[in-house]
Structure formats: C-alpha cells, structure tokens
Copies of this chain bind each other. A is one copy, B any other.
C-alpha cells in the first residue's frame, strides 16, 4: 500500500486533513486533482497561505483580522461611531455588513467557555472596557452611545452576551440585544418551540 504513494504525496494528503471538514478521502481527491489538473492553482494556494499567515494580524481596536495595526472599518469616518456591535467572529462581521449595519464593531474571536480556558481575558474584554471608557489609545473617544450584543443565539453566546451586558452597564451606555424570533420566510409549523416561545414573548405592537 505505502509503495504506491510517493512520500511528498502522503505528506500533502496529511496536511490537507488539517482543514476543517476535509477527511482522508477528500484530501486524497483534492491532491490528485491538483497534481493532475491544477498545479498552478496549487502553487498559488501555497503562496496565498504563506502570505495571509504572514500579513494578517488583529486590529488593535476591534480585534478583527487586519493587515494594518488598525483596520479599515475602525478608521473609516463614514461609519457611525456611536454604535458598537459585539460579535463572536470575523464571519459575523461579514453577515452584519450584508445586513446593512453601518456602525463600528468589536470582535470577540470566540465566546466564554471556561472548560476550554476561554475567559474574559481571551475575549479581550479589558480592551472593550478601555474602548467604552474612551481611553486615548483606543481611538474611540468615548462616543459610544449604544452597544449591540450580536453574539450567537447559543448557550455560550447568551452567556457571553450576559457577561458583557454587566460590563457595559457600568459605563451608563445603552445595551441592546438583536431580536430572536421566526426567520423571514419561516413557516410556524417547522419552527422549533423555543424559538417560537421567544418570538411570542418578544411580540410588538402592530402600528
């Protein structure tokens, strides 16, 4: 069996297995595809990987991925600095942008998870406090008037939102949580009962 496979091919298959959602079989298929049909693509992927790992760090203010010390979103003066949206990951920033949000962000890069050793320190909550207080080096200038908690609607996300709520209240800043309920286009009979009871509790007056 081993004889049939050059060592550098085994190494490539092994390395591909480290990608999330890629198992042994897919890794093999991908390797064969690259070797047979797309060697240029493989070389540019290698370059892109090295390049991204080298250049991309965290924004000093919002902790989002950034090549510069402070990211474009934080520096932009076209965005509403009085709104601060707190999300778990950079992917959530994307989702919020697509939804039309135009304020600033703070990216936790995870959620509270004591069992995995992820506490307030790891989520940069001290940095968040400094941001809200308007410490000179955060560039926030203390003009945040509303903090929007947009952590995921999971157990951990809710716990994290609750914890951050306690911090923000100290600064007499308004705290809101994004609404949970029936998704647009969702049919009641297919919605889980927890979501539905949430939607019921959060009902609003018909204008």
Contacts and interface: CB of A to CB of B under 8 A. Distances in A.
Main secondary structure of the interface of A (DSSP, over half): helix
A91 B53 contact: no
A15 B32 contact: no
Contact of A72 (B3, B42, B64): B3
Stoichiometry (number of copies): 2
A53 to B, nearest CB: 5
Interface residues of A, number: 60
Contacts of A67: 6-8
A115 interface: no
Given A55-B8, A65-B6, A14 B48 contact: yes
A38 B18 contact: yes
Interface in A145-196: none
